[in-house]
Copies of this chain bind each other. A is one copy, B any other.
Amino acid sequence: MALFRIAKKGHYDFINITQKVKEIVEKSKIKDGVALIFVKGTTAALTIMEYEEGIMEDIKEVLEKMAPENADYKHHLKWGDRNGAAHIKSALIGPDLVVPIEEGKLQLGQWQEIVLIDFDEKEREREIVVKIIKNE
């Protein structure tokens, strides 16, 4: 298992972690299998997308309409923080991704990038686990 940490600004911070994951796959020397990528937090999510500025703004706009960052959420009454919207988006998008590995390489499509979206209200370090499962 490889683990890395990245500092995230929150508020719809889209971080492309594809290169990092590729390096871990190559270092593992595993030719055939799958890679699980998992973020250990409840206010971030992992997805696969074209890493393009316009798409990021479009996703942000759709998600803001669904659950605006600045609205009042029941969760705010619990701890006094203001990240209720971040919890909702994290639960709906999810923390886990599984990607095939073949001939020692991640089998992503031409435009597919592995992206961590941080929805939280403040900067924090994120822990991402990459677990490679060998086939036979």
- Which residues of A are in contact with B by a Cβ distance under 8 Å? 1, 32-34, 36, 38-42, 47-50, 52-55, 57-59, 62, 65-67, 73-78, 84, 87-88, 90-100, 102, 107-112, 115, 127, 129, 131-136
Contacts and interface: CB of A to CB of B under 8 A. Distances in A.
A98 to B, nearest CB: 5
Contacts of A111: 41-42
Given A41-B112, A42-B109, 9 more contacts: A33-B131, A38-B99, A42-B49, A42-B50, A52-B78, A57-B74, A58-B67, A95-B112, A98-B98
Contacts of A33: 131, 133
A119 to B, nearest CB: 13
